[in-house]
Amino acid sequence: MKELIRFAAHLEMNFGPGVPFHDRWRAARRSGFRGCEFVWRNVELPAAAELQKAEPLAVSCLGGTTGAAAGARPVLILPEDRDRLMKDVETATAYARELSCRNLVMVSGNMIRDWSVEKHREEAVRSLRSIAPILEEAGVTALIEPLNSKIDHKGVYCDTSAEGFRIVEQTGSPNVKLLYDAYHMQVMGEPIVRTIRERSGLIGYYHLAKVPGRTEPIGGEIDVPAFLEAVADTGYDGFVGLEYKPSGDYRDVFRRLSDAYPEQIDGQDPIDENYR
């Protein structure tokens, strides 16, 4: 029997500026989402745990452990950041355990001048091997997310799923997998459905947004029903994170998504108009 794939709201990207974290959480819950993801650095753990108890939402993954550029630290590929990475992973896995979350999102970092692709990969693998014992003990998976280098993340090192799979395979830990972001990989021209069907054993989580524009996934270049069918056919039983920027008021967008995907967003609790 196929798994029913449900969507998780992204509590940073799916909202405009100025909306408090607790309002974002409650709005997602009361719009019919049953899962969410957010950057763990942006909220104190007790506050998140209290919200989860009061307004139950599964936390499907936690972002923010690594940065893409040197301005956001630690960076996965930098040897000088490795000790800091290990400490941050210890903190992140504490969040994950408390919130019953299985996944931490990590990005590769930007290309370093005069480094070969192989050098970038070697350093990424070393960093991941250094944190693998922490992940394995905690029962948490690090998700390597390839990002598109054509529009949103020019200069990023890992910009294809093929390179991401190499990192995962060479790390050799069951607690290191790939986050397959359909938006990023569509921008890079990858065959999304075929990749999912052929490499699902190395994929631990999925993201989705519309191409072009990175808004809510209604219309656009990605065949969302075919994407969801491919994911379900692999036996995947987790969430698909909606990492999009809303094209309008987030409440209107949530309603449009619920109408477009009634199975992925069950809509049992209508959105409360008091939430901004």
Percentage above 70 pLDDT, the chain: 95
The residue-averaged pLDDT of 112-141 equals 98
The residue-averaged pLDDT of 111-119 equals 96
pLDDT of residue 197: 98
Superfamily of domain 6-260 in CATH is Divalent-metal-dependent TIM barrel enzymes (3.20.20.150)
Helix (H) or strand (E) holding 221: none
User: Does the structure show a pLDDT above 90 at 167?
Assistant: yes
Return the active site residues.
145, 243
Our measurement of the distance from residue 9's CA atom to the centroid of its chain's CA atoms, rounded to an integer in Å, reads 10
pLDDT tens column, 174-229: 999 999 999 999 999 999 999 999 999 999 999 999 999 999 999 999 999 999 99
Question: CB–CB of 68/110 below 8 Å?
Answer: yes
Alpha-helical runs (H) found in 55-113 = 82-98
pLDDT of residue 255: 95
The residue-averaged pLDDT of 166-178 equals 98
Among 2-6, 219-223, 259-263, which stretch is predicted with the lowest mean pLDDT? Answer: 2-6
The residue-averaged pLDDT of 136-152 equals 98
- Quote the CA–CA distance of 32 and 59 in Å, as a whole number: 14
Identity of the residue numbered 189: G
Question: CB–CB of 190/147 below 8 Å?
Answer: no
Domain ranges of the chain: 6-260
| pLDDT tier, 268 (very low <50, low <70, confident <90, very high otherwise) | low
- Quote the CA–CA distance of 62 and 92 in Å, as a whole number: 8
- Quote the CA–CA distance of 179 and 196 in Å, as a whole number: 11
Percentage above 90 pLDDT, the chain: 91
User: Does the structure show a pLDDT above 50 at 273?
Assistant: no
Among 36-50, 91-105, 168-182, 260-274, which stretch is predicted with the lowest mean pLDDT? Answer: 260-274
User: Does the structure show a pLDDT above 70 at 76?
Assistant: yes
Instruction: Say if pTM beats, i.e. exceeds, 0.75.
Output: yes
